[in-house]
C-alpha cells in the first residue's frame, strides 16, 4: 500500500462499535484498491480517550474515531456540536445537518486550527438510558441520582431536576448494583444489555431521549493533504457508507437485545411518549444557549444549528 | 542533617519514629522540596474530607455536588506527581540494589553520579515533552491563553493546571538530579 | 549517523527481546524503578520513532495521575499510616493472637482473612498491600513469625483484592470483552476464595511441619479479665470494617468513596483512644505522600512503556505469536496462559490487557470457550503477575513500606511458593471450569 495510517478508536476491543469500525478500515482498503491501509487500535492503547486530538496533531497517531464531546474542555463548541441534546430524534437528521446544513464545514472550521481534518460523522444512534427505577417522563427525573458524562448532557439533566453524579465508566456497574446511583447514561441498548447493566438496573428507557453522540472520523491535516484527491474522496465516501451501516447494524442489535430483554421477563423497557420527549428537549435547548456563551466558536455552532433547525421547521 | 518534619510524636506505646528526611546531597532544593511536601500531603487529607462530605450530601440530602469528584481527582493527581519529586529529594524511590550493594564505595559513587545524570537527562527530555502538551493545553490554536478545561458541567480548568504542574515538576526534578549528580561527584573526589 | 529510527530496523521481535533485556539490565544497576521503565520507554520512543513520539509518554503520565480509580490508593495508604501511628494495629494483633489461640499459624491465617475483607472493600491492590505491609507485617514479625511466611501472606493476600469483587481487573476485562461485569464478579468469587484457601492450607502445613515458623503464645493462659481487655482491641477495627463495607453494600458510597470512609473511621478511632494529635495526622499525611510517590511512579513508568510498545506494533506482534500455534483448543489456551505469565513478569496488568485482550478474546470465543470463564483465568493469571519477578508490583508496594532490612531479593524469594499456589489455582480452574461457572 502507498498510505498506511494508525487510528485509535474511543471504544474497547470487544465492543460492537469497534468491530463495526474495523469493518470500515476493511472497506477503505477495498475502495482504495489496497492503496490505503488503516490500522485501528482500541481505546487507550496509545493515549487516553481524551488525548487523541493532541496525539494526532503531534503526529503520534494519524487519526481517530471518537466522540467529539471528549474535547469539550478544549472548546465548548466541541461539546455543543457533539451532543446538542434534544436536537435529533433520528441519526439521519444529524447526518442531513452535517451534509447539507453546514455541519461538516463547521466541524472543519473547528478542527483545522488544531491540525486535524474532519472526514465525516457517524453515531451509534440514540443511546438508551439505564435506570434501576421506572421512569415514565421528565417529572420522574426529579432528584434522580444519576451518572452523566461530562458536558451538556450533565447540564441538561441538572436543569431537568436530576442530581447528576460524576462517576467514571468503570464505576457505573458497581454503583448501580449497590444503589449508590439510580440511573446512568452509558451506551446503546445492546451494549448495556451485553455488559449486564440491565441485570442491576432493570428499567431501561428505550429508545433513549437524552443523547446521540457525534462520533467523528478525523485525521492529521498534513496527512490528509498528502493524499491525492481520489483517495480523499475514498476516505469521505467510506465514512458516509460506514455511518449508514453502523446505524443499521446497531439498530438491529438493539432490537434483538430489546426482544431478548423483554422475553426474559425481568426487565421492563420503558418508552417515553412524544410529549415527554418534547418537554425534555425544551429543557435541553435552554442549556444550549448557556454553552453558546462559553466561546465564540460555541456561539457559531449555536447559530448554525438553531438556524438550520428553524429553516427546516424543526423548532416548535 | 536535621529533619524538619521529624517532631517526636508521643503516640500509643510506640517509640518516637524516624519520619525520614531529604538526603544531604539533595542540597537546598531538596530541603525546599521536602518542606513543600506538606502542602500536597494536606491536599490528600482535603481530598478525603471532600469525598466524605460528598457522600454525606448525596446520601442524606440527595444533593451531590458537581465539583467534589473532579476536585478530589485533581488533589490526588498533584499529590501523585509531587510525590515523585518528594521521593527523589529523599532518595526513596524503590531501587534494586543487587549489584549496587556488592560494589565498593568508589564504584558506588560512580554509579550514583551516572544514574543521576541519566535520570536528569530523561527528566529534561520529559520536561520538553510536557511542554508540547502544555502548549496545546494552555493556549488556543490562535495563540491566546486559555487553560484546557474538563468539559463537565462545572468545567474547571484542572486539566490545563495539571499539565502545567506536571511540566514544572519534571523540570524541577531534572534540576534536582543535576544537584544530586554534582554532590555525589564532589564527595567522590 | 541517524540514531532515531535505528531500533525500528531491528523489527518488533528483536526489539521486544531487547526491551526486556534492557529492563532487566537497568533494573539491577540500581536506577530508581520508576525511571527504569520510563528510560526504556524513552529509548524506544526515540530509537523507533524519534523525538515526536516522546510526548506520548507525558500524555500517558497525565492520564494516569488524573484517573479517578487511583483516588482510593492514597486513602488506603493514609488509613495505614494513621493505624501505624496509633496503637490500634498492635492491639488488634494481640487480640487476634488470643482468638487464634493455640492454632499454629493462627495470626497468619487471620491476616489472610483480613486481606479477604480488605479485598471486598477495594478493587485495586496498591493500597491494600501497603496497608497490610504497614500493619500486619511488623506485627507478625513482632509475634515471632517467619519473615518469608509473613511477607508471602501480605503480598499474596493483598493481591487477592482483584480476585474478590469489586475488581478493577474484572471491570476492565468486562469492558474490553463486552461481557457482563456482574457475571464476572460472580464467577471470580469462588476461585478467589479457593486461592485464599490454598494460602491458609499452606500456612497450616508449614507451621505444623516446622513450629518455629509460627510461634503460638507461650506461658500461662491469660485470665478472663486480661482476655476481655485484649478483645477490646478488636472492637474499633471491626467497627471501621462495618462502616466501610456497610457504606459500599448499603449503597451509601461508591467503592472509591468508601476508602475515604475508612480513613474517617480510623481517624475517629484514634480520637476515641485519645491518641489523635495534629502531629500524628501531619506525619501520616506526609508518609502517604511519600508512599504514593513511590508506588504511583512505578505505575507511571509502566503505563509509559505500554504506550510506546503498542505504538511499535505490540498488538500485531502478539497476534503473530498466537496465530497458527495449534488446532487443539487446549494447547492454544495453555499457550495464552504461558504468554500472559511471561508478559506478567515484565509488564503491568493494564498493559497486558490492552495488548492481549483484543486478540485473545475473539479467539477464545471462536474456540467455543466461555469468555466469562476466560476472564477469571485472566484475573487469576494477573495474580501471578503482581508477584512474579523481575517486575512484581506487589513486591515493590511492600518494599515501599517494609523495614529497610527487608530487601527486594528477600521479598521475591518469599513469594515463590505463593506464585506456585496461584499457578496451581489456575490449573485447577482450567481443569474444572465448574469452579467459576457454577
Ligand atoms: Na476487590
Ligand atoms: Na510480575
Q: Is residue B16 very low, low, confident or very high in pLDDT (cuts 50, 70, 90)?
A: low
Band (pLDDT 50/70/90 cuts) for residue B1 is very low
By the 8 A CB rule, do C103 and C214 touch? no
Q: Which of C51, C65, C266, C303 to mutate to test the interface with B (most CBs of B within 10 A)?
A: C65
Contacts of B68 in chain A (CB under 8 A): 166
CA nearest to A109, candidates B141, B150, B138: B141
CA distance C424 to C418: 10
CB B157 within 8 A of CB B147: yes
> In this structure, are residues A61 and A26 in contact, taking their beta carbons and an 8 Å threshold?
no
pLDDT bucket at B12, cuts 50 / 70 / 90: very low
DSSP state of C216: P
Contact A55 C59 (CB under 8 A): yes
Mean pLDDT by 10 residues, chain A (316 residues): 93 91 97 97 94 97 95 93 89 96 96 98 92 95 85 87 79 86 91 92 91 94 97 98 96 93 92 90 91 95 94 81
Q: What gap in Å lies between CA A89 and CA A95, rounded to an integer?
A: 12
| Ligand approaching nearest to the C-alpha of C341 | 2
Cα distance between residue A103 and residue A309, in whole Å:
12
The 10 Å Cβ neighbour count of residue C438 is: 9
C-beta atoms of A166 and B58 within 8 A: no
More confident residue, C182 or C372: C372
pLDDT score for A316: 62
Q: What is the pLDDT of residue B8?
A: 35
Instruction: Look over chain B and give the mean of its residue pLDDT values, rounded to a whole number.
Output: 89
CB atoms within 10 A of CB C226: 12
DSSP secondary structure code for residue C347 in this structure? S
> Of C226 and C302, which is predicted with more confidence?
C302
Please state the domain extents for chain C: 1-66+296-312, 67-276+313-435
Looking at the predicted structure, is the pLDDT value of residue C323 above 80?
A: yes
**Residues of A near C (CB-CB distance < 8 A)?**
6, 12-16, 39, 41-42, 44-48, 50-51, 54-55, 58-60, 167-171, 173-175, 177-180, 191, 194-196, 199-200
DSSP chain A: --EEEEEEESS-TTSHHHHHHHHHHHHHHHHTTTSEEEEEE-TTSSS-TTSHHHHHHTTSSSEEEEEGGGGTTT-HHHHHHH--TTS-SSHHHHHHHHHHSSHHHHHHHHHGGGTEEEEEEE---SPPEEESS---SGGGGTT-EEE--TTHHHHHHHHTT-EEE---GGGHHHHHHTTS-SEEE-S-HHHHHHTTHHHH-B--BSS-SS----EEEEEEHHHHHTS-HHHHHHHHHHHHHHHHHHHHHHHHHHHHHHHHHHHHSS---B---HHHHHHHHHHHHHHHHHHHTT-HHHHHHHHHHHHHHHHTT---
CA of A175 to the centre of ligand 1 (A): 14
Closest residue to B152, CB basis, from A113, A115, A154: A154
Do the beta carbons of residue C107 and residue C233 sit within 8 Å?
no
Q: Calculate the average pLDDT of chain C.
A: 92
Q: Helices (DSSP H) in C212-348: which residue ranges?
A: 224-249, 255-272, 278-311, 314-322, 329-346
Q: Please write the tens of the pLDDT for every residue from B83-120.
A: 999 999 999 999 988 888 888 989 999 999 999 999 99
Could you report the per-residue pLDDT of C208-249, keeping only the tens digit for each?
Answer: 999 999 988 776 778 888 888 888 888 999 999 999 999 988
B89's CB contacts (< 8 A; 6+ apart) are B22, B23, B26, B29, B30, B31, B33, B34, B176
Structure letter (DSSP) for residue B145: B
Report the alpha-carbon distance of residue B173 to residue B158 in Å, rounded: 22
Nearest Cα to B122, choosing from C36, C325, A310? Answer: C36
Q: What is the ipTM of this complex?
A: 0.94
pLDDT at C115: 94
Per-residue model confidence (pLDDT) at position C49? 94
pLDDT (tens digit per residue) in C30-73: 899 999 999 999 999 999 999 999 999 999 999 999 988 889 99
**Do C178 and A44 make contact, defined as CB atoms within 8 angstroms?**
no
Q: C70-106, pLDDT tens digit by residue? A: 899 999 999 999 998 998 988 988 888 888 877 899 9
Question: Strands A36-41, A3-9: parallel, antiparallel or unpaired by DSSP?
Answer: parallel
pLDDT tens figures, A94-150 = 999 999 999 999 999 999 999 999 999 999 988 899 999 999 999 999 989 898 876
Amino acid at each position: 500500500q502507498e498510505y498506511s495510517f494508525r487510528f485509535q478508536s474511543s471504544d474497547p476491543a470487544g465492543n460492537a462499535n469497534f468491530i463495526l469500525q474495523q469493518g470500515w478500515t476493511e472497506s477503505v482498503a477495498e475502495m482504495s484498491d489496497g492503496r490505503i491501509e488503516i490500522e485501528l487500535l482500541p481505546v487507550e492503547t496509545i493515549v487516553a480517550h481524551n488525548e487523541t486530538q493532541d496525539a494526532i496533531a503531534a503526529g503520534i497517531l494519524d487519526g481517530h474515531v471518537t466522540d467529539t464531546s471528549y474535547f469539550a474542555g478544549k472548546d465548548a463548541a466541541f461539546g455543543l456540536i457533539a451532543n446538542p441534546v434534544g436536537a435529533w430524534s433520528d441519526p439521519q437528521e444529524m447526518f442531513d445537518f452535517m451534509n447539507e446544513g453546514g455541519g461538516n464545514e463547521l466541524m472543519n472550521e473547528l478542527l483545522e486550527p488544531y491540525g486535524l481534518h474532519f472526514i465525516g460523522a457517524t453515531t451509534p444512534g440514540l443511546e438508551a438510558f439505564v435506570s434501576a427505577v421506572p421512569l415514565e417522563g421528565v417529572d420522574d427525573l426529579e432528584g434522580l441520582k444519576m451518572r452523566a458524562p461530562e458536558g451538556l448532557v450533565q447540564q441538561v439533566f441538572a436543569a431537568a431536576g436530576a442530581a447528576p453524579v460524576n462517576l467514571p465508566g468503570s464505576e457505573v456497574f458497581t454503583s448501580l448494583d449497590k444503589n449508590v446511583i439510580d440511573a446512568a447514561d452509558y451506551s446503546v441498548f445492546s451494549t448495556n444489555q451485553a455488559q449486564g447493566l440491565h441485570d442491576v438496573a432493570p428499567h431501561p428507557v428505550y429508545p433513549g431521549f437524552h443523547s446521540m453522540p457525534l462520533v467523528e472520523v478525523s485525521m492529521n491535516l498534513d496527512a490528509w493533504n498528502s493524499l491525492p484527491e481520489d483517495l480523499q474522496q475514498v476516505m469521505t465516501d467510506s465514512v458516509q457508507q460506514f455511518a449508514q451501516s453502523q446505524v443499521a447494524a446497531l439498530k438491529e442489535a438493539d432490537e434483538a437485545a430489546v426482544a431478548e430483554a423483554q422475553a426474559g421477563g425481568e426487565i421492563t423497557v420503558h418508552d417515553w411518549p412524544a410529549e415527554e420527549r418534547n418537554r425534555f428537549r425544551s429543557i435541553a435547548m435552554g442549556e444550549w444557549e448557556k454553552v453558546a456563551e462559553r466561546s465564540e466558536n460555541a456561539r457559531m455552532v449555536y447559530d448554525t444549528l438553531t438556524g438550520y433547525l428553524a429553516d427546516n421547521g424543526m423548532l416548535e | 542533617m536535621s529533619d524538619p518534619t521529624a517532631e517526636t510524636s508521643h503516640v500509643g506505646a510506640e517509640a518516637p519514629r524516624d519520619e525520614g528526611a531529604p538526603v544531604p546531597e539533595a542540597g537546598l532544593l531538596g530541603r525546599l522540596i521536602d518542606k513543600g511536601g506538606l502542602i500536597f500531603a494536606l491536599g490528600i487529607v482535603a481530598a478525603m474530607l471532600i469525598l466524605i462530605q460528598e457522600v454525606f450530601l448525596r446520601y442524606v440530602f440527595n444533593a451531590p455536588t458537581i465539583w467534589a469528584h473532579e476536585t478530589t481527582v485533581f488533589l490526588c493527581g498533584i499529590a501523585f506527581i509531587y510525590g515523585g519529586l518528594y521521593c527523589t529529594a529523599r532518595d526513596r524511590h524503590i531501587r534494586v540494589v543487587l549489584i549496587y550493594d556488592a560494589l565498593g564505595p568508589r564504584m558506588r559513587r560512580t554509579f550514583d553520579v551516572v544514574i543521576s545524570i541519566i535520570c536528569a537527562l530523561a527528566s529534561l527530555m520529559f520536561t520538553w515533552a510536557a511542554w508540547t502538551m502544555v502548549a496545546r493545553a494552555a493556549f488556543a490554536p490562535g495563540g491566546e491563553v486559555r487553560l484546557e478545561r474538563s468539559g463537565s458541567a462545572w468545567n474547571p480548568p484542572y486539566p490545563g493546571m495539571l499539565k502545567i504542574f506536571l511540566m514544572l515538576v519534571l523540570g524541577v526534578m531534572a534540576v534536582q538530579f543535576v544537584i544530586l549528580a554534582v554532590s555525589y561527584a564532589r564527595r567522590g573526589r | 549517523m541517524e540514531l532515531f529510527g535505528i531500533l525500528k530496523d531491528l523489527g518488533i521481535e528483536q526489539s521486544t527481546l531487547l526491551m526486556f533485556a534492557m529492563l532487566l539490565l537497568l533494573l539491577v544497576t540500581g536506577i530508581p524503578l520508576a525511571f527504569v521503565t520510563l528510560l526504556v520507554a524513552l529509548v524506544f520512543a526515540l530509537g523507533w520513532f524519534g523525538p515526536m513520539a516522546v510526548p506520548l509518554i507525558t500524555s500517558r503520565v497525565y492520564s494516569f495521575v488524573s484517573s479517578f480509580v487511583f483516588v482510593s490508593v492514597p486513602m488506603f495508604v493514609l488509613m495505614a499510616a494513621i493505624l501505624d501511628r496509633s496503637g490500634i494495629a498492635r492491639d488488634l494483633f494481640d487480640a487476634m493472637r488470643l482468638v487464634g489461640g493455640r492454632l499454629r499459624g493462627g495470626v497468619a491465617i487471620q491476616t489472610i482473612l483480613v486481606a479477604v475483607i480488605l479485598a471486598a472493600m477495594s478493587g485495586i491492590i496498591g493500597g491494600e498491600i501497603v496497608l497490610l505491609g504497614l500493619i500486619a507485617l511488623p506485627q507478625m514479625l513482632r509475634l515471632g513469625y517467619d519473615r518469608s511466611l509473613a511477607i508471602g501472606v501480605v503480598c499474596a493476600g493483598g493481591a487477592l483484592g482483584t480476585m474478590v469483587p469489586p475488581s478493577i481487573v474484572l471491570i476492565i476485562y468486562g469492558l474490553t470483552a463486552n461481557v457482563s461485569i456482574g457475571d464476572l464478579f460472580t464467577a471470580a468469587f469462588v476461585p478467589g476464595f479457593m486461592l485464599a484457601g490454598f494460602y491458609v492450607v499452606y500456612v497450616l502445613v508449614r507451621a505444623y511441619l516446622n513450629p518455629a515458623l509460627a510461634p503460638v503464645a507461650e506461658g500461662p493462659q491469660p485470665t478472663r479479665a486480661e482476655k476481655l481487655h485484649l478483645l477490646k482491641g478488636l472492637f474499633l477495627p471491626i467497627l471501621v470494617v462495618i462502616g466501610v463495607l456497610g457504606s459500599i453494600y448499603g449503597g451509601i458510597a461508591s467503592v472509591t468513596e468508601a476508602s475515604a470512609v475508612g480513613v474517617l473511621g480510623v481517624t475517629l478511632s484514634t480520637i476515641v483512644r485519645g491518641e489523635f494529635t495534629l502531629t500524628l495526622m501531619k506525619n501520616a499525611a506526609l508518609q502517604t505522600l511519600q508512599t504514593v510517590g513511590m508506588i504511583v511512579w512505578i505505575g507511571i513508568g509502566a503505563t509509559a512503556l505500554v504506550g510506546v510498545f503498542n505504538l511499535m506494533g505490540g498488538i500485531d506482534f502478539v497476534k503473530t505469536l498466537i496465530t497458527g500455534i495449534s488446532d487443539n483448543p487446549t494447547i492454544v489456551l495453555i499457550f495464552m496462559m504461558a504468554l500472559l505469565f511471561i508478559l506478567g513478569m515484565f509488564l503491568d496488568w493494564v498493559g497486558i490487557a490492552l495488548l492481549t485482550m483484543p486478540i485473545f478474546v475473539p479467539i477464545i470465543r471462536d474456540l467455543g470457550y466461555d469468555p466469562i470463564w476466560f476472564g477469571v483465568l485472566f484475573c487469576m493469571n494477573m495474580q501471578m503477575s503482581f508477584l512474579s519477578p523481575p517486575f512484581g508490583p506487589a513486591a515493590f508496594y511492600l518494599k515501599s513500606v517494609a523495614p529497610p532490612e527487608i530487601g527486594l531479593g528477600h521479598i521475591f524469594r518469599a513469594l515463590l511458593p505463593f506464585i506456585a499456589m496461584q499457578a496451581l489455582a489456575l490449573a485447577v480452574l482450567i481443569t474444572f471450569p465448574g469452579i467459576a461457572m457454577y
